[in-house]
Amino acid sequence: MEKIRNQIGTIYVILSAILFGTMPLLARIAYAHGSNAYTVAFGRFFFGSVMLGIIVFALPGCAVKISGKQFLILLKLSAPYALMPILLYMSYNYIDSGMATTLHFTYPVAVMLIMVMCCKGQLDTKQIVCAVFCIGGMALLYTPNGKINVLGILLAVVSGIVYAVYIILLGKSAIKELHPFVLAFWISLLSSVEIGLIALCSGNLVLHLDAAGWTAEAGMALTATVFALVLFQKGVFLCGEVKASLFSTFEPLTGILIGVIVFHEALSAKEIIGMAGILIATALLVIPTKKVKMQNAQ
């Protein structure tokens, strides 16, 4: 039963990563029609919460009402989830997006370290090897453009650490009994309020978009929030925090493939090797290994 749970969780996380990987394409469209990073993040969660709310009310036996204790847990979860894209988008002002994305996607290592240091988690050799392949693959996917800034690097790294905290809090939270759509609805709603307030107070909330801009925002909400967020949360509960973070590296692969297919971008040999490294790590995680029982000599 545990093996089946892990396999289903793996499928959920990979599907969510593929859907998350469509965000850069939709964000490009939104930017071209008057949006900015803050508005993209706000619109994604706001429209997503509206769509999820409609789904929750339409599903029989699915109630949006939660207890006060559950609300506090969800509020704690939404804080890092809302802060992560803001930090990542802020890093784009100081370093190029390729470097920022590469640094952000070191969060599987952050998940492992936090699990070991703070949650008394144990890592096996296969997970460590997969982490090395993932981080090495991500490094190869990055093509330097010469724009390096200490503050930008710090913001990108912290965005990854914050996301790692969210993944661990989600995996350890006592809200697994909530319906996946209800959980995603509250996370999206609270995140939209938090991002909206930050964008409004900083003067970065842009609401004058044309129809194409709002359509891109709504499309991002549908793919990255309604479907991807629900699948990722369910996947974390089924296969665990470490595996979920490692399988999430399918997201940049999707972004690269979209660039090749839609924008006819060329793949370099370095990028192909990087993609192969991530795929090898995924294959190692998916392929089961025989467990050997060892007696503790202590």
Kindly report, residue by residue over 113-156, the tens digit of the pLDDT: 888 887 776 767 877 888 888 888 877 876 666 566 888 889 98
Task: Supply the pLDDT for residue 51.
Answer: 96
294 in a structural domain: no
Query: Is residue 10 a contact partner of residue 243, using CB atoms and an 8 Å limit?
Result: yes
**pLDDT given at position 283:** 76
User: Rounded to the nearest 5°, which phi and psi values hold at 77?
Assistant: -70, -40
pLDDT digit string (tens) for the chain, length 298 residues: 777 888 899 899 999 999 988 887 888 888 889 888 889 999 999 999 999 999 999 998 888 889 999 999 999 999 999 999 888 878 877 877 667 777 888 888 888 888 888 777 676 787 788 888 888 887 787 666 656 688 888 998 899 899 999 999 998 888 888 899 999 999 999 999 999 999 999 898 998 899 999 999 999 999 989 999 999 999 999 988 888 888 888 887 887 787 778 777 777 888 788 888 888 887 777 666 554 343 343 3
Q: Quick one: which of 136, 137, 153 has its CA closest to 87?
A: 153
What is the rounded distance in angstroms from the CA atom of residue 82 to the CA atom of residue 193?
9
Torsion of CA 212, 14, 275, 84, to 10 degrees: 60
Q: What is the pLDDT of residue 76?
A: 93
Q: Report angle CA 201, 42, 219 to the nearest 5 degrees.
A: 160
Q: Does residue 298 lie within any of the structural domains? A: no
Instruction: Give domain status of residue 147, yes or no.
Output: yes
Residue 82 within a domain: yes
Q: How far apart are CA 261 and CA 235, in angstroms?
A: 28
At residue 79, the pLDDT reads: 94
What span, in angstroms and rounded, lies between the C-alpha atoms of 276 and 266? Answer: 16
**At 244, which amino acid appears?**
A
Q: Sign (positive/negative) of CA torsion 285, 287, 288, 294?
A: negative
Q: Does 296 reside within a domain? A: no
What's residue 236's pLDDT? 92
Domain encompassing residue 251: 2-286
Looking at the domain assignment, is residue 80 inside a domain? yes
Domain for residue 142, yes or no? yes
Q: What is the pTM of this model?
A: 0.82
User: What secondary structure does DSSP assign to 36-101, as a single string?
Assistant: -HHHHHHHHHHHHHHHHHHHHHHSTT------HHHHHHHHHHHHHHHHHHHHHHHHTTTS-HHHHH
Could you give the number of structural domains in the chain? 1
- Quick: pLDDT tens for 276-290: 888 888 777 766 655
Residue 144 pLDDT: 66
Instruction: Give the tokens for residue 98.
Output: 């390729």
